Amino acid sequence: DSGVTQTPKHLITATGQRVTLRCSPRSGDLSVYWYQQSLDQGLQFLIQYYNGEERAKGNILERFSAQQFPDLHSELNLSSLELGDSALYFCASSPGTILRETQYFGPGTRLLVL
Amino acid sequence: AQKITQTQPGMFVQEKEAVTLDCTYDTSDQSYGLFWYKQPSSGEMIFLIYQGSYDEQNATEGRYSLNFQKARKSANLVISASQLGDSAMYFCAMREPQMDSNYQLIWGAGTKLIIKP
């Protein structure tokens, strides 16, 4: 158990819908990262938050947004869902932002868009 | 250009044998970090081992060790005495400084390792 929690574990929804994925980082970690893992694109970095502020953006679509709340949990919002958004979405956390910090991953949310 | 290359899409290894999973990387930075993660069929991503570009010794963690060859830009994972539970996808990832001083993980495509009894 990495100490990072994600809910829900599975999500099935329809195209055009909106969903929210939730992540609680390990105790004491200030950085939260979101990754998408799909069969055709592999693992891709989406976005990072550090202590409530957006720190870095990767290949995140405009239909996707995220935030980190004062209690450091984070939510990833996916809207106008398309079939291609079906993927495993990971949240990871680390204490800060230094190079050698390990990112610990949550169990992931498996999203299926029908 | 690929930043992280894992040339072995899949490998079969006999139980108790050692296995080497290849990873080569591309960076112009002097300071970077290399990580290996394991993803079993259940889906979770498990951190295995870290090697910093300035670390003088190769990293070791139990049965895992990293064969780090900086000049060749390779960071191969070695698993000694493989076990059935080692069957999983293995990902090599690199963290390098970005323009905004943040350090994102860049991932290889992974190697699927199957341990045969």
Instruction: With CB atoms and an 8 Å threshold, state whether B47 touches A110.
Output: no
| Residue B112 confidence (pLDDT) | 97
Distance from CA of A26 to the nearest CA of B (A): 14
Rounded CA-CA distance A84/A81 in Å is 8
Mean per-residue pLDDT for B23-52?
Answer: 93
| Residue A59 confidence (pLDDT) | 82
Mean per-residue pLDDT for B15-21?
Answer: 97
Q: Which residues of B touch A106 (CB under 8 A)?
A: 44
pLDDT tens-digit profile, chain A (114 residues): 889 999 999 999 999 999 999 999 999 999 999 999 998 888 999 999 999 999 888 889 999 999 999 999 999 999 999 999 999 999 999 998 777 889 999 999 999 999
Distance from CA of B107 to the nearest CA of A (A): 6
Q: B48 falls in which pLDDT band (50, 70, 90)?
A: very high
Residue B89: CB atoms within 10 Å: 18
pLDDT (tens digit per residue) in A70-94 = 999 999 999 999 999 999 999 999 9
| Residue B100 confidence (pLDDT) | 54
Q: Buried (b) or exposed (e) across A45-81, using 16+ Cβ within 10 A?
A: bbbbbbeeeebbebebeeebebebeeebebbbebeeb
| Residue B56 confidence (pLDDT) | 87
Distance from CA of A74 to the nearest CA of B (A): 17
Q: Which of A58, A90, A102 sits opposite B47 (nearest CB)?
A: A102
> In the structure encoding, which two tokens stand for residue B85, read together?
């539970």
Write the DSSP string, B33-77: EEEEEEE-TT---EEEEEEETT-SSPPEETTEEEEEETTTTEEEE
With a cut of 60, say whether residue B91 has pLDDT above it: yes
Task: Give the residues across from B60 on adjacent strands.
Answer: B65
The three-point CA angle A64-B98-B108 to 5° equals 70
DSSP 3-state of A44: strand
Burial label, A14 (beta-carbon count in 10 A; 0-12, 13-18, 19+): exposed
| Residue B29 confidence (pLDDT) | 85
Burial label, B94 (beta-carbon count in 10 A; 0-12, 13-18, 19+): buried
Q: Which of A43, A58, A106 sits opposite B91 (nearest CB)?
A: A43
Q: Which residues of A touch B105 (CB under 8 A)?
A: 33, 35, 45, 103
> In the structure encoding, which two tokens stand for residue A14, read together?
């329809």
**A90 at B interface, C-beta within 8 A:** yes
Residue B117: CB atoms within 10 Å: 6
Instruction: With CB atoms and an 8 Å threshold, state whether A33 touches B101.
Output: no
Distance from CA of A12 to the nearest CA of B (A): 17
Instruction: With CB atoms and an 8 Å threshold, state whether A103 touches B109.
Output: no
Which amino acid, A80? S
Q: What separation in angstroms does the CA of A104 have from each of A12, B5, B70, B94?
A: 26, 22, 25, 15
**A103 at B interface, C-beta within 8 A:** yes
